[in-house]
Structure 1
Amino acid sequence: MPELPIEFFAEDVEFEVKDEAKIKEWLFEIISKYSFELESLNYIFCSDEYLHQMNVEYLEHDTLTDVITFDNSDIEGVIEGDVFISIDRIVDNAAAFNITPEVELHRVMAHGLLHLLGYEDKSEEKQALMRSKEDECLEMLQL
């Protein structure tokens, strides 16, 4: 498989994605399933503080969140975006949901990508659809 234009960065936390090559293949598989093309996809892992500041500055939401997605593509059907994920939220939410941080991380990574694929979560109905799409994505992940 050619080198995929998917990158992982840590902004103000010490963090590395485990099984990086497999995770990139999984993300590419999700993109392909929805018949999108991949231009570039960046995941930036950070702290609650960092993501909260972005939430206030760019979205005018004064709340903690686990993920913020920026769609940088002007072409329909093309993925070009940045997904910011709070590792602090991942750890806290995993404990609250009684799952491993790794499973929660993968769910949130899929969630951010699903936003780039056109899925929203602003209503209860859309949240339910998003959750089922996240579950489908997680089922595709073979680690």
Structure 2
Amino acid sequence: MKESNISFYSVRTFSLKTEAAVTACIKAITAEESREIGNITFVFCDDNYLLKINKEFLDHDTYTDIITFDYSAGNEIISEIYVSTDRVEENAKKHKQTFEKEMHRVMIHGVLHLCGYNDKLAEEKQIMRDKENHYLSLMA
């Protein structure tokens, strides 16, 4: 088995304080979902940085909390995941969650997309939310 690589970068001063727990959770997700990690890179940024990416690559002129670029080959996950810490902070307040828990949910959400889950239809959204809750419980 190839060594998996999960890395975390920031284009601002943000630093993820739970890297070890997130890494363990991502490894649990991919194992349970029968996927292998090749390389997953998380990039933490602000709203404007992610808005620019959203416009340039997805032709969406809206703020978002996460954009996942999937370069996977077969069963091996290769991805860049961009997360707006501004959106995560705002959504945490809106949903009365801690910033940390909302950050974990968003990161898990991105990884679930890489495992083949979608969230366009109501039924897909419910499956995604159930999976997020399941994997969040592993971090508690």
- Inter-partner Cα distance in structure 1 for 2:4 and 2:33: 17
Q: For residue 100 of structure 1, what is the amino acid of its counterpart?
A: T
2:137 to 125, 136, 139: 139
Structure 1 unaligned regions, length at least 5: none
Separation (CA, whole Å) in 2 of partners of 1:43 and 1:82:
6
What are the within-5 Å matches in structure 2 for residues 1-143 of structure 1? Answer: 4-11=4-11, 13-75=12-74, 77-142=75-140
Say which SS state the counterpart of residue 62 (structure 1) adopts. coil
Q: How many residues align?
A: 139
- Amino acid aligned to 2:54: N
Structure 2 gap segments, 5+ residues each? none
Note if contact 2:4-2:38 (Cα within 8 Å) is conserved in structure 1: no
Q: Match of 2:39, SS?
A: strand
Structure 1 segments, 4+ long, off by >4 Å, are: none
* TM-score after normalising by structure 1: 0.92
Aligned AA (1:9): Y
Mapped to 2, the partners of 1:22 and 1:130 lie a distance apart of: 21
Q: In structure 2, give the amino acid aligned to 1:109.
A: M
Amino acid at match of 2:121: S
Identity fraction in percent: 41
Q: CA deviation at 1:4?
A: 4.3
Contact 1:39-1:79 within 8 A present in 2 as well: yes
- The CA distance in 2 between the partners of 1:62 and 1:51, in whole Å, is 10
Note the C-alpha offset of 1:120: 0.7
Question: Matched residues in 2 for 1:120 and 1:78: separation?
Answer: 18
Residues 70-108 of structure 1, C-alpha deviations (whole Å, 9 max, x = no match):
101122x21111111000000000000011000000000
